[in-house]
Amino acid sequence: MNIGQTIYQGQRLSQQLNLAPQLLNWLQLLQAPTMELTSMVRHELESNPALELADPLFDSMGDLPELTQPGSEKTFEENEIRMDNSTLDARLGTLSEIDQEWREDYAHNQRGSQSGQNEENEKHQYVLDSLVYSESLYAHLTKQLGQYELNEAEAALAEEIIGSLDDRGFLTASLVDLAENAGAPLEQMQKALDTIQRLSPAGIGARDLRECLLLQVEDHSSNTYRMLNDCFDLLLDQQWDEAADRLDLESADIEDAIAEIKTLDPEPGMKITAAPVTYIEPDVFLRKEDGEWTAEINDDQIPHLRISPAIRTLLEQNTLSQDDLAYIRQKMRSGQFLIRGIHQRKETLLRVAREILRVQRTYFDEKGDLSPLTMNKVAAIIGVHETTVSRAIANKYLSTPRGIISMKSFFKSGYQCADGSALTPDKVKDIIDNLISREDAEAPLTDQHIAAELKTKGLNVARRTVAKYREELDIASSKERSKEYRLRRKQEKLLAVA
């Protein structure tokens, strides 16, 4: 076989979007939630000698120096990027097609750069630091085996079973199959399972729900244990009277047993394998005081920065070398950009939050439904590009009297009604659900009939959209509903004859 290599030259036409480093930095500031921004600012404060902490009441925007060096007619202000809305909006217009996970793309493009790698490492570490450690179910259970005097073979069988448990703590694999795979007698595998079922949390190692609940009841002579052991079928069907007859108990005893069963955990393994807890720090506080709503940025944890006067004094002495001068000017430019960027982020986030508050006032005041609201509409009102709004609300949360809510959840497209009002898709679903609940069971409404009915209400919703909403409501089609109705009527007639 002859394998050859050929070297050739060729041309290829491709398109690539290159963003200025300043613009990428601005997007990073805009998109970062409060906790991440705090980490970014602290890192910059530690690594940039031109920055220092300022009094929180100090207006950092007024502390932007205009530095003029001898022999140069350009000021510091002329060299740094201006962060006003009009200039920024024009540049952000090119970003509408960029995926929300732009940071990953940027990191990929910068993979050859050591600084880019360091930045990714810092972000990765930040994510890890934000998580609460959660022990695996396997580790949690194997650590408990030490309290039992197991030989090496018995411990190996026990670990085989633990490794076969699902997240709920159930053993879904056949004990016979496990024994065959391990090359051990079934009796030894059963003994190992008995050991597992004595571990904490109670109910671990069960092969079905009934066994799981039984393992959690210590008193095997109690009514609760008898109810689970002898009347599990009646329990599932809620046939309490039949259960009382079978166990020869009073209704009060059955009620007490049911109450205790409700306290048992049907998925004990989830106590251990539940997803790690992440703490959400709200980015904006919405409060109502004296009948007036206010929006306030949560920036108490974000260090307040200013350009160091000592650095400015050092520049004014005019004793620095060209290399030192270039370094200090670069650091001051970076610091000034950060200060301006934080200020611009705050203003953008506040304006978006206030617009959410204005449109969704009924939701907050009366605990009603959300009103339709799109990013495009908010962008037009506050005078920025839709991409800016999209990134401003990414991973951001509002603290409201109704709880901490994602800012994205307030943006819902809507349907325009004939009277000028608008309804969200959720509200349209409620109308569809209500129409079906009041339909003639002998002649169920088709999706086309529902679309026509909505049109009479001033809502122009396509039939396919009605079908999609109906399926999301878990409602069967008109044919299936009609079939279910006829079957139900047939059963009722049979029962009446009997």
Q: Is the pLDDT of residue 250 over 80?
A: yes
Query: Kind of pairing, strands 403-406 and 284-289?
Result: unpaired
Q: Is the pLDDT of residue 90 over 60?
A: no
Instruction: Name the more confident of 81 and 50.
Output: 50
Q: Is the pLDDT of residue 409 over 70?
A: yes
Mean pLDDT for 55-59 is: 52
pLDDT in the model for residue 20: 52
- The answer to which of 40-54, 220-234, 273-287, 379-393 has the lowest mean pLDDT is 273-287
- For the chain, give the mean pLDDT: 77
Query: Taking the mean position of all CA atoms in its chain, how far away is CA 41?
Result: 24
Domains 137-273 and 415-497 agree in fold: yes
pLDDT in the model for residue 227: 92
- The closest alpha carbon to 181, from 165, 166, 161, 167, belongs to 161
pLDDT in the model for residue 277: 55
Instruction: Name the more confident of 95 and 172.
Output: 172
pLDDT in the model for residue 388: 83
Q: Is the pLDDT of residue 133 over 50?
A: no
pLDDT tier at 213, thresholds 50, 70, 90? very high
> Which position has the token pair 């007490």?
256
Query: What is the Cα–Cα distance from 209 to 266, expressed in whole angstroms?
Result: 7
Fold topology of 137-273: Arc Repressor Mutant, subunit A (1.10.10)
Angle between helices 375-382 and 322-359 (to 10 degrees): 110
Instruction: Name the more confident of 435 and 368.
Output: 435
Q: Is the pLDDT of residue 166 over 50?
A: yes
Instruction: Kindly list the distances between the CA atom of residue 424 and the CA atoms of 13, 421, 452, 462, 469, in Å, as whole numbers in the listed order.
Output: 44, 10, 18, 15, 12
Instruction: Kindly list the distances between the CA atom of residue 64 and the CA atoms of 42, 83, 87, 238, 335, in Å, as whole numbers in the listed order.
Output: 19, 13, 19, 73, 10
pLDDT in tens, 335-347: 888 888 899 899 9
Mean pLDDT for 402-408 is: 87
Query: What is the Cα–Cα distance from 385 to 64, expressed in whole angstroms?
Result: 27
- The answer to which of 124-128, 285-289, 340-344, 422-426 has the lowest mean pLDDT is 124-128
How far the first Cα of the chain sits from its last, in Å, is: 85
Amino acid at 403: G
pLDDT tier at 29, thresholds 50, 70, 90? confident
pLDDT in the model for residue 73: 36
Q: Is the pLDDT of residue 78 over 50?
A: no
Domain locations in the chain as residue ranges: 137-273, 284-410, 415-497
pLDDT in the model for residue 372: 79
Q: Is the pLDDT of residue 178 over 70?
A: yes
pLDDT in the model for residue 426: 78
Tell me the CATH number for domain 415-497: 1.10.10.60
Instruction: Name the more confident of 74 and 426.
Output: 426
- The answer to which of 19-33, 300-314, 362-376, 438-452 has the lowest mean pLDDT is 19-33
Most confident residue range from 174-188, 200-214, 313-327, 445-459: 200-214
Mean pLDDT for 101-116 is: 44
> Which position has the token pair 């907050």?
364
- The answer to which of 120-134, 223-237, 483-497 has the lowest mean pLDDT is 120-134
pLDDT in tens, 274-288: 555 567 889 999 988
Q: Is the pLDDT of residue 226 over 90?
A: yes
Query: What is the Cα–Cα distance from 467 to 314, expressed in whole angstroms?
Result: 71
* DSSP symbol at 439: S
Instruction: Name the more confident of 46 and 109.
Output: 46
